[in-house]
Chain A
Amino acid sequence: MPRARKSLFLNIPYDSSFSKLYLAYIAGVSSFGLTPRATLEIPGGERRLDRILTLIRSCAYSLHDLSRVELNRRPPRTPRFNMPFELGLAVSWQKLKRPNHTWFVFEAMPRRAEKSLSDISGTDVYIHNGNARGVFTQLCNAFVRLKSQPTIQDMEEIYGRLADLLPELQARAGASSPFEARVFQDLVLTARALTQR
């Protein structure tokens, strides 16, 4: 089975206010037997856009969280275009090259994505209400496994343990933030270890 069938490109914001949902995505996606990938795991040296395209190409699925597209607080206040831009790259990849690539749009608020990005009208937008349980619920709406279908409770337990282990993983990596390459990789490995079957 090609490796890509088991990987999911996670297109999310990397900021402290998103750290709970970041853990929730890693826990939830891993519970479905998929390996989350993210741009932050790849070392520098390559052009960022090339890295993003390489990652999208290597994944069967991509999940784009548009819940933090609002203006950021630091002056000059600017909207955050990265997530919708990467969604556009994934859509192009699917439409022009790889029809099997499946992309999902997640949001915190109903109808906001359709307002801010009307080009996606007609697309199912998965509303997670900005909390971990909402992410798990919507992942269950997006994915189904015939065997070993994870429950919300399974995902919550894994999420709780990731949160529990995060300080240790950060300490081992000498990292001050969970959004660092080594911490992300260790979180994905930890989530997999917790879902051993």
Chain B
Amino acid sequence: MAVLIETPFPSMRQVAKTLGVPAERAKEIERLVEKRYKSGPEDRVLNRRSGNKRGSARSRGGRRS
């Protein structure tokens, strides 16, 4: 039988604290992920997860500049 998870998603800061690593390292990882994927055309996970309802220019029928 499946277990129901009702807890909210932990913040990056909380995850870092749980793992016992400095918050600054969590920020470094966030920057790395942002740099690698945020502006990429294939960035579906991050945009969807951050509540970007507009989607990419291409999905709205526009052109990427």
A:147-184 near B, CB below 8 Å? 148, 154, 157-158, 161, 164-165, 168
| Residue contact B36 to A165, C-beta cutoff 8 Å | yes
Contacts of B32 in A (CB 8 A): 165, 168, 190
B9 / chain A contacts, CB cutoff of 8 Å: 33, 148, 192, 195, 197
- Docked complex: A13-46 residues within 8 A CB-CB of B: 32-35, 37, 41
A90 to B36, CA, bound (A): 38
Q: Given A33-B5, A143-B5, A195-B45, is A189 in contact with B19 using a C-beta cutoff of 8 Å?
A: yes
A144 within 8 A of B: yes
B30 partner residues in chain A, CB cutoff 8 A: 189, 193
Are A193's CB and B33's CB within 8 A?
A: yes
Q: Scoring B residues 12 to 50 as 1 if CB is less than 8 Å from chain A, else 0, what string do you get?
A: 101111110100011001101110110000001110011
Question: Is B10 among interface residues, defined by CB-CB distance under 8 A?
Answer: yes
> In which size bucket is the chain A interface?
35 or more
| A194 proximal to B (CB < 8 A) | yes
- Complex-state Cα separation, A126 to B2, whole angstroms: 11
Partner of A161, one of B3, B6, B25, B37: B37
Evaluate contact between A189 and B26: CB separation under 8 angstroms: yes
A7 at the interface (CB under 8 A from B): yes
Q: Is the CB of A1 within 8 A of B16?
A: no
Q: How far is the CA of A141 from the CA of B32 in the complex (A)?
A: 32
The verdict on A185 contacting chain B, using a C-beta distance below 8 Å, is yes
Cβ A188 vs Cβ B3 within 8 A: no
Q: Decide: A6 and B18 in contact? CB cutoff 8 A.
A: yes
Q: Is the CB of A33 within 8 A of B33?
A: no
Q: Nearest CB to that of B6 among chain A residues?
A: A146
A43 to chain B, nearest CB (A): 9
Report the separation of the CA atoms of residues A102 and B16 in the bound assembly, to the nearest whole angstrom.
23
Answer yes or no: A136 CB below 8 A from chain B CBs: no
Q: How far is the CA of A3 from the CA of B11 in the complex (A)?
A: 12
Given A188-B15, A190-B32, 4 extra CB contacts under 8 A? A145-B5, A161-B37, A189-B16, A189-B19
A interface, CB within 8 angstroms of B:
1, 3, 5-7, 32-35, 37, 41, 61, 102, 124, 141-146, 148, 154, 157-158, 161, 164-165, 168, 185-186, 188-190, 192-197
Interface residues of B (CB under 8 A from A): 1-10, 12, 14-19, 21, 25-26, 29-30, 32-34, 36-37, 44-46, 49-51
The 5 closest A-B pairs by CB, nearest first: A33-B9, A193-B33, A189-B29, A144-B2, A157-B45
